[in-house]
Amino acid sequence: MQDLVLHLSKRRAIMMGIVVLLAFIAVAVSFNFHITPTSYFGGIYNDYLVVFLIIYKLIELPILYYILLHRHILHVKTNKLEEERFLKIQKHSKLLLFLIPQGNTIFGLIAYKLSGDIRYFLLFSSIAIITLFLVKPKKLL
């Protein structure tokens, strides 16, 4: 279990670095190119869609955390760890640490394209960083 926690901690740090790198790239692109907001339906619903994306992400992340990691933490604390459960924990925790940056980056790009404002991409990047910071693989011990 020690090896898994060490591996997940390294993966978490790498994912944080990737999110920060993508944020810097987005800021550089924003300074060099002008992104015009989309004009689907006349652009009337763009702000509503961006707010929906933010609310969706804030609801989705705790659910993902519970399903992919927290229930395993609760099980490990109360029961003996079997090999099958260990493999499931390993698979789900890796998936969680991949889905957090990936989902927030995609939603950030969508919000950036809908609004033309880099702040929304940076908001989703900061949500990813905060979520990765709050996910503590050491709780598995």
Give residue-wise pLDDT tens across range 38-80. 887 888 888 999 999 999 999 999 999 999 998 988 888 888 8
Which among 135, 104, 131 is positioned nearest to 26, based on CA atoms?
104
How many residues are there in the chain? 141
pLDDT of 87-106, one tens digit each? 898 999 999 999 999 999 99
* Domain extents in the chain: 2-140
User: Are 5 and 137 contacting, i.e. CB atoms less than 8 angstroms apart?
Assistant: yes
- Burial of 18 per CB tally in 10 Å (0-12, 13-18, 19+): middle
Please give the average per-residue pLDDT across 25-45, as a whole number: 88
In sign, the C-alpha dihedral spanning 96, 68, 2, 131 is positive
Q: What is the pLDDT of residue 105?
A: 95
Q: What is the pLDDT of residue 40?
A: 79
Q: What is the pLDDT of residue 139?
A: 85
Q: Which secondary structure element, helix H or strand E, spans residue 113, and what is its range?
A: helix 83-115
Q: Which residue do the tokens 């991409």 mark?
A: 121
Q: What is the pLDDT of residue 25?
A: 95
Q: What is the pLDDT of residue 121?
A: 96
Question: Which pTM was predicted?
Answer: 0.90
